[in-house]
Amino acid sequence: MCMIHEYKTSLVGYLDDTTWFGSSSEQINEKLSIANLFYSFTNIKINVDEYKVLTNISKRNKTVTLNINGLPHEALNQGERILGLYINASNRSQPTLKKGKQIIVIPKLEYIFQHTILNWKQCQQLMVPLKKLFKNRLILLVNTPDNVIYNHIFQNINNFYDIQVKAQLNSLGALFNTLILRQLAIQKIHNVGKEIWYPTIPYNIKKYTKKIRKPTYLTKSLEF
């Protein structure tokens, strides 16, 4: 049985950030042209140099040209920062992970990674600078087991993997219990059913998710 889920949207906006959606560059061009006519009519100043383009078409060229009010505008095909989060159209964690390595403040890491799920190894690699600094501060050897500094009996730091598990569980709870998002949640469940299909519940789900080339968000969250 074939199930089709549709969720149509053209625009998402918050404060001065606006995100347009389209199935082709021609459609985006048309929407931007209409939007710019409105901006011109209402005397709203828009910085077209800040326009960014994201695409999930793997065979797309490295640059995408948009024709905005007759003026060509080229943008790189890569992940971009939107409202403080690093969004990648191909659902890849590497661009966000690369940005995260430059930050050692855990609350900031938790915020920018709320749409990116990292496995245990990636979380530990991300925390290497902070763990080295903490061990040095406590006059501990570099090869001291991480469980020592994650222990809450004495001075410690929080394990970022545990923080991520808690944050993602809260996000999943909101996803499935918010009426406006429930349709997307149901679609994600069917996507998981196509990616992982077994007659019984597998004992170790990680063994199977690692075989999926491009796992979706919900499939990644099953590793928790």
**Across residues 179-183, what is the average pLDDT?**
82
Dihedrals phi, psi of 20, to nearest 5 degrees = -100, 145
**Each residue's pLDDT tens digit, 19-55:** 878 888 788 888 888 888 888 888 888 777 777 777 7
Angstrom distance (rounded) from CA 86 to CA 80: 5
Which DSSP symbol is given to 207?
H
Please name the residues in contact with 210: beta carbons below 8 A apart, sequence gap of 6 or more.
none
Domain co-membership, 95 together with 174 = yes
Q: Calculate the average pLDDT of the chain.
A: 75
Domain co-membership, 74 together with 155 = no
pTM: 0.52
Domain co-membership, 61 together with 131 = no
Domain co-membership, 71 together with 164 = no
Q: Residues 3-37, buried b or exposed e (16+ Cβ, 10 A)? A: eeeeeeeeeeeeeeeebbeeeebeebbeebeebbe
Last residue of a domain, one of 19, 49, 78: 78
Last residue of a domain, one of 54, 78, 102: 78
With respect to residue 58, please indicate whether it lies within any of the assigned structural domains.
yes
Domain co-membership, 102 together with 69 = no
Cβ contact 137:143 at 8 Å: no
Q: With a cut of 80, say whether residue 83 has pLDDT above it.
A: no
Domain co-membership, 134 together with 188 = yes
Domain co-membership, 21 together with 72 = yes
Q: How many domains does the chain have?
A: 2
Within 13 A of 76's CA, how many CA atoms are on the CB side? 6
Domain carrying residue 185: 91-221
Closest CA to 216 of 78, 53, 93, 95: 93
Q: What tokens does 2 get?
A: 């074939």
With respect to residue 195, please indicate whether it lies within any of the assigned structural domains.
yes
Last residue of a domain, one of 78, 109, 133: 78
Helices and strands of the chain, counted as H and E runs: 10, 6
**Each residue's pLDDT tens digit, 88-127:** 666 666 666 666 555 556 777 888 888 788 888 888 888 8
